[in-house]
Amino acid sequence: MTAHLLGIDGMDRAEIEELLDLTDTFAEIGRRPIARVPALRGRTVATLFFEDSTRTRVSFDTAAKRLSADTLNFAAGSSSLSKGESLRDTVDVIASYGVDALVVRHPMAGTPHRIADWTDASVVNAGDGSHEHPTQALLDAYTIRQHRGSLDGMHIGIVGDIRHSRVARSNVLAFSALGAQVTLVAPTTLLPPSLVGWPVRVSQDLDEVLPTLDACYLLRMQSERITEGLIPSLREYVADYGLNATRAARLPTEALICHPGPTNRGVELSAEVAADPRSVILDQVVNGVSVRMAVLFLLLGSGRELLERSESEAGA
Ligand code: NCD
């Protein structure tokens, strides 16, 4: 059976921890003078992005290259989709190039799952609508663990547009599987219509929650998915939920400030807060490559000994 990574939903603590442990190995490889191992030589990883992306696509591409895989990049904007080609045909064309993994981002929830039914390649969900973004959650959990040792017993606040955020969904599942308590902080209009089954607490009072947090995870307003007026005005939203320096002073000195990017400075966080020593936003970006190397290796790789040698030693 082909292995896929479609969501954090369905992964248990042991599986998540195995991935985070393996990520340590790839983080070490990333620090070598030649950050390249022959583990996926001869395999092909394709990125299929039907939505804009900077860090996720570049990060997967870099991860595949560091594993010596061949890469193939498809971006919807410059493709034959604009000539009326269907999703199915597009996937069949890309798969026919002999692709071993398809990394898929799509505005519609469930698309990577459908693609997984159509192909023999391993499918990695790189964000499907407001549903899931599993590698983001894994890199976030890795970053927090790197700074704190463990998520067990931590209190993590996720602040902002939870309703439209695939990152929030995947993170709630990952953080709570790893033993953290999660509080969602947002106006009710920016919460999902039902939170039944979500292992979370909810608050509308950021100032009250901040002093109790070990990590404050900020989200962008997903304006591309907002079709109705869910907040009275951006100014009022910023006044109530934006993390500025005064507010950040309420966070414990050891607390971490996280954001998946892209950030909208002056909305969910101020420029000062982005530069706060407690911000681990750039660490998240760096760790994204290592986590995605671990994911691709687990799905496609064989032979851990191929991790021991750098690509030049392996006679590339
Ligand atoms: C997130 C996404 O695309 O879901 N970004 C990312 O992958 N780093 C969050 C966002 O777009 O706000």
Average pLDDT estimate for 283-299: 97
User: Cα–Cα distances in Å, from 29 out to 38, 63, 74, 287, 290?
Assistant: 12, 11, 27, 12, 9
134 within 8 A of 125, measured Cβ to Cβ:
yes
55 within ligand 1 shell (Cβ under 6 A): yes
Q: Where in the chain is the domain with CATH 3.40.50.1370?
A: 13-132+288-315, 134-283
Residue 314: which pLDDT band, with cuts at 50, 70 and 90? low
Take residue 270 and report the two structure tokens written for it: 């101020």
Which of 60, 130, 167 for a ligand 1 pocket mutation test, highest count of atoms within 8 Å of Cβ? 167
Q: At what angle do helices 134-148 and 55-66 cross, to 10 degrees?
A: 80
Tokens 């970006």, located at residue: 285
Q: Among 175-189, 274-288, 302-316, whose mean pLDDT is lowest?
A: 302-316
DSSP codes, 63-106: HHHHTT-EEEEEEGGGSGGGGT--HHHHHHHHHTTT-SEEEEEE
Tell me what pLDDT residue 315 has.
53
* Closest ligand 1 atom number to CA of residue 219: 12
pLDDT at site 310? 66
Closest approach atom of ligand 1 to CA 133: 4
CATH topology of domain 134-283: Rossmann fold (3.40.50)
- Is residue 89 within 8 Å of 81, Cβ to Cβ? no
Determine contact, residues 49/57, Cβ cutoff 8 Å. Answer: yes
Ligand 1 lined by 284 (C-beta under 6 Å):
no
**Residue 304 pLDDT level (bands cut at 50, 70, 90):** low
- Cα 132 to middle of ligand 1, angstroms: 10
Task: Please report the atom of ligand 1 found closest to the CA of residue 136.
Answer: 7
pLDDT score of 231 more than 70: yes
Annotation: CATH topology of 13-132+288-315: Rossmann fold (3.40.50)
What does the mean pLDDT of the chain come to? 93
* Strand, helix or coil for residue 155: strand
Q: Output the pLDDT for position 309.
A: 67
Record the tokens describing residue 150, joined without a space: 């463990």
Predicted confidence (pLDDT) at residue 316 exceeds the cutoff of 50? no
The percent of residues above 90 in pLDDT, for the chain, comes to 85
Q: Residue 130 above 60 pLDDT?
A: yes
Q: What is residue 102's predicted lDDT score, i.e. its pLDDT?
A: 97
Locate the ligand 1 atom nearest the alpha carbon of residue 261 and give its number.
8
Q: Is the CB of 105 under 6 A from ligand 1?
A: no
Neighbours of 57 (CB within 10 A): 19
